[in-house]
Amino acid sequence: MTNMPNLLKICFGIIASLFVAQFSYAAPSPALGSNTYEKIEQLKGYCHRMEGDEGNAKECIEAKKLAERALKQDPENVDLLFDYAMMMSFSERSKAVTLLRKVVVLDPDHGEGLYKLGAYTEGRESVKYLKKAIQLDPNHRWAHYMLAYHLMELGDGAGAAEAMKNHIKFDFVDTDIITFTNFLQSSGFSSEIPGIFETYLKSTSDPKSSCIGIDIYWKKYKIKSKSFDKTFKEFCGRKK
């Protein structure tokens, strides 16, 4: 298995940054008063799931208690199960996984449930969920991103590179690409690096701003690729 930083913490960190924007809304059950759900809606955004972030602990604890109480009366409410899973911190990831598994059993096509379950689990199980999420939404850039790292962990450099290229087509950050290509290099998959940078140069709106950094990286690792040499000249206006 690839020697990498704690992959699960990376996943939780990324998802936490998207937490408020992507939070779903639980559909009220006739068996419960609407006040319970309204209160959950008000408080659940305080649960950032980032270890050490205790600033909103009181509100988050209250949201969890309300969700637990609601689920006792409405145990198959998919949206509520999903919301409750998203309230979990990194140290509670096993509970989040249990909840998310219930979500995808009740709704096999729950795209965000599949994506987050794929991000929170490991190995072939995570790959299975992420591929299903991508099948449902081929444009889910973060599912492609998570798939890349999980495939790297399994030693599939070619598959990981392809997943990262798919992510880059939708969204990219220079430092993320450099970090990922460093993983490829240290894991013996340097032959996959040219394709990553080619996709990057063809996707970014301002390729010349990245030419210097790519040139330095290229010379550091002494990577050779005629195809990339051609792409670099085309987008950077000069030879490496």
Q: What is the pLDDT along the chain (240 residues), one digit of tens a residue?
A: 444 445 555 555 555 444 433 444 444 444 455 677 788 877 877 786 444 555 457 888 888 999 999 999 889 999 899 999 988 887 888 999 999 999 999 999 999 999 999 999 999 999 999 999 999 999 998 899 999 989 988 999 999 999 999 988 876 666 677 788 888 888 888 888 888 888 888 887 777 777 777 777 777 767 777 887 888 888 887 665
Say which residues have a Cβ less than 8 Å from residue 184's Cβ, sequence separation at least 6.
152, 157, 160, 161, 190, 192, 193, 196
Domain span including residue 56: 7-183
Question: Domain holding 117: CATH number?
Answer: 1.25.40.10
Q: Which two tokens stand for residue 133?
A: 């999420």
Q: Is residue 234 part of a domain?
A: no
When divided into structural domains, the chain yields a total of 1
Give me the helix-helix angle, 157-170 and 174-186, nearest 10°. 170
Q: Which residue, among 49, 30, 45, has the nearest Cα to 96 in the 3D structure?
A: 49
What angle (nearest 5°) sits at the alpha carbon of residue 137, between those of residues 205 and 86?
100
Q: Is residue 189 part of a domain?
A: no
pLDDT at 19: 43
Global pTM exceeds 0.85: no
Amino acid residing at 217: Y
Q: Is residue 190 part of a domain?
A: no
Distance of CA 62 to the CA centre of its chain: 27
